[in-house]
Amino acid sequence: GTFVVLASGRGSNFQAIIDRVKEGFIHARCVCLITDNPDAYAITRANKAGIPHEVVSYKSFSDKIRYEEALMEVIARYNPDLIILAGYMRLLGDRIVDTYHGKMINIHPSLLPAFAGLHAQQQALDYGTKVAGCTVHFVTRDMDAGPVIIQRTVLVLDDDDEESLSSRILIEEHQAYPDAVRLFFEHRLRIEGRRVRILP
């Protein structure tokens, strides 16, 4: 199988996934990294790994519709089996989401449905929850709301701040995301309504 990764910045989840591919844990190939940001550090990671990259910069289009047309064109050129959103900071429109129904996944640094949207880790601290974590889910039209594939938890410590909590959650993200990608390419994920059944 093949996949493309969409990222906007640091790209540590992208790195975790392509590392697991290299080790033979995931039986699929990353055919392209796509960023909306020409300065994303993820591009450096792609270059080091010999993975092609494309920049579809939001700023160079007159509106969201045109931007997404261009993005869809680039994605279609690579004809991936799976689209992986990894720190991709834009909300995708209905057309692209519908086109790739069941073939697009995202990671979010909270235990959804709690704390969707930005600064999820700080939201957990502000609420005062004692557990936090991350969620890998299929992408649907609503933000951070699709069927859940994997969640991993961390304990919130009394002394945590946004940075310390985020970095412990990130360790779990780097485990959860490759696990989910592997399951996808083993054809072991079946969406049944809101629930994802993981086949043995």
**Active-site residue numbers?**
108
Closest approach, Cβ 128 to ligand GRF, in A, equals: 21
Please state the length of the chain: 200
Stretch that binds ligand GRF, among 10-18, 73-81, 136-144, 151-159 (CB under 6 A): 10-18
Closest approach, Cβ 192 to ligand GRF, in A, equals: 25
Q: By rule CB under 6 A, what count of residues binds ligand GRF?
A: 13
CB atoms within 10 A of CB 193: 6
> Distance between CA atoms of 118 and 123, rounded to whole angstroms?
9
Among 4, 11, 149, 189, binds ligand GRF (CB under 6 A): 11
**CB nearer ligand GRF, residue 11 or residue 80:** 11
Q: Which SS3 state, helix, strand or coil, does residue 199 take?
A: coil
**Which sign, positive or negative, has the C-alpha torsion 87, 38, 49, 31?**
positive
**CB nearer ligand GRF, residue 115 or residue 184:** 115
> Distance between CA atoms of 84 and 67, rounded to whole angstroms?
18
**Which sign, positive or negative, has the C-alpha torsion 174, 4, 2, 144?**
positive
C-beta separation of 12 from 196 below 8 A: no
Site residues for ligand GRF, 163-192, by CB under 6 A, read: 170, 173
Task: Quickly tell me which residue has 């680039």 as its tokens.
Answer: 74
Rg (CA), the chain: 16
Stretch that binds ligand GRF, among 50-58, 68-76, 106-114, 155-163 (CB under 6 A): 106-114
- Measuring CA to CA, how many Å separate 5 from each of 30, 51, 63, 75, 129? 7, 11, 23, 10, 31
Which residues face 2 on adjacent strands? 29
| 133 near ligand GRF, judged by CB under 6 A | no
Stretch that binds ligand GRF, among 7-15, 25-33, 48-56, 182-190 (CB under 6 A): 7-15
Residue nearest to ligand GRF (CB): 87
**CB nearer ligand GRF, residue 118 or residue 199:** 118
Closest approach, Cβ 200 to ligand GRF, in A, equals: 28
| 139 near ligand GRF, judged by CB under 6 A | no
- Which residues of the chain form contacts with ligand GRF (CB under 6 A)? 7, 9-13, 86-87, 107-109, 170, 173
